[in-house]
Chains A and B, each alone.
Chain A
Amino acid sequence: MNRLSDVFFRLKGAPRRVYTGLRDGLRAFRATPFKVAGRVGKNVGLTSLYLVNGAAAVHLFSDYVGNVSPMQGPSMLPTLAIDGEYVIENIIGHRLNPSNISRGDLITFRSPHYHHRIVCKRVVGLAGDIVCVDPTGLKFPSSVHVLVPKGHIWVAGDNAALSIDSRDYGPLSTALIRGKLFARVWPPRDAVIFRNPTTYIE
């Protein structure tokens, strides 16, 4: 508004500001309404750039440190419900200490079948272990055993009947692991910090 009134006064021959020198003369010569439009455009551009930058920062945080994400699918019943639950995914822990994975952990990783999808399963065997491929006998006879190769782990869903896991794609390379499930935060009455339930029989 101020600028527009500037123009008005200049047109009336009564400038509110005294323009001196070549630069100021040029500034006065330029049509001020255009300048206002230019300034607004610049602000819009800068604001959207800041928004994009902020979104990038949030995305980086959720990729490197951790995030809260919804869980879906029947493969982890009864530990995780089919729908409507939110969990905290701890990523920085795995980034700082990739070897800290033990049997019984809930881990998240990129699916070897669908590379866009991030899935959650439970670690059953570590490299060097001999695991029973399918104790339920659904996909393989329960007598089949394999040796988990170097750099790999064996993962399985808690609900063997409706889970796509190492029985389908074999041992999982540890390079695919993203992080561990830390806690469930939603729904609040089921909020829990996930503990490793494994007990070893000597």
Chain B
Amino acid sequence: MSSLWLRCRSVLIWSPMAIMFNNHFYTLKTVSGRSMQPTLNPDSSTSRDTVVFDRFSIRLSGQLARGDIVVFPSPLDPSRMLIKRVLAQEGDTVSTLPPYPAAEVQIPFGHVWVEGDEPFRSSDSNSFGPLPLALIDSKLLFIVFPFSRWGSLAVSSPDRLPHGPIKRLQEAAVERERWRRSRVRLAPGNN
């Protein structure tokens, strides 16, 4: 009994460090929803993706690049967390997709443009406009579960791959990336 109490007490005493690590460095989360398909939660996978998210590089150094996948509370409903891909950073000009009122938008200071990989089921910057960097909670590092999908999501060059479904998936990812980039005009001096 007393040893159980001692164990609980030591867990309690050291919990601030654990919570700090989780809040400011790295955290594990399970992604639900289809808006990042087929990059995350693809139909071929039987379970939802569990992913390591990096809070450290967002909060402390503010490092973010076009193409990063980020997590943030929805600006329209803070209780919902969204996961989207960064398309453009401040100063860039983006060609928007339908729900957005203007055809082109220049990203204001301190903001980014985010979109889901699945353009039809996604509530993203096309519905709520540029996203303040201050809202971004973390960025995706790598998938840890399911184990068959273990690893980072970097798109490798499909040229070296043997013919087969993996090559076709990679080719589709490269094509999507090319399409994303074609819609963004980079800010001057930022190539």
**Interface residues, chain A, with chain B CB atoms under 8 Å away:** 52-54, 56-57, 59-60, 63, 98, 110-116, 149-152, 169, 173-176
Contacts and interface: CB of A to CB of B under 8 A. Distances in A.
B20 A56 contact: yes
A150 B76 contact: yes
Given A112-B111, A113-B110, A169-B108, A151 B132 contact: no
A151 B78 CA distance: 7
A151 B82 CA distance: 15
A110 to B, nearest CB: 4
Nearest to B90: A113
Interface string B102-117: 0000001111000000
A173 B75 contact: yes
Given A115-B136, A151-B76, A175-B135, 18 more contacts: A53-B13, A53-B16, A54-B16, A111-B110, A112-B110, A112-B111, A112-B134, A115-B110, A115-B132, A115-B133, A150-B76, A150-B77, A151-B75, A151-B77, A169-B108, A173-B75, A176-B134, A176-B135
Nearest to B62: A115
B62 A52 contact: no
Interface string B53-93: 00000000010000000001111111000000000000000
Contacts of B76: 149-152, 173
A151 B20 contact: no
- Interface of chain B, main secondary structure: mixed
Contact of B134 (A54, A98, A115, A152): A115
B134 A174 contact: no
A53 B17 contact: yes
A71 B42 CA distance: 48
Contacts of A98: 78
A174 B135 CA distance: 10
B162 to A, nearest CB: 44
Nearest to A57: B16
6 contacts: A53-B14, A115-B133, A169-B110, A173-B75, A175-B75, A175-B135
Interface in B120-141: 132-136
B11 to A, nearest CB: 12
A110 B132 CA distance: 10
Contact of A111 (B20, B23, B72, B134): B134
Given A151-B75, A151-B78, A175-B73, A113 B109 contact: yes
A60 B16 contact: yes
B14, B133, B136 interface centre (most CB from chain A within 10 Å): B133
B120 to A, nearest CB: 22
B74 A56 contact: no
Nearest to B111: A112
Contacts of A149: 76
Contact of B135 (A63, A150, A173): A173
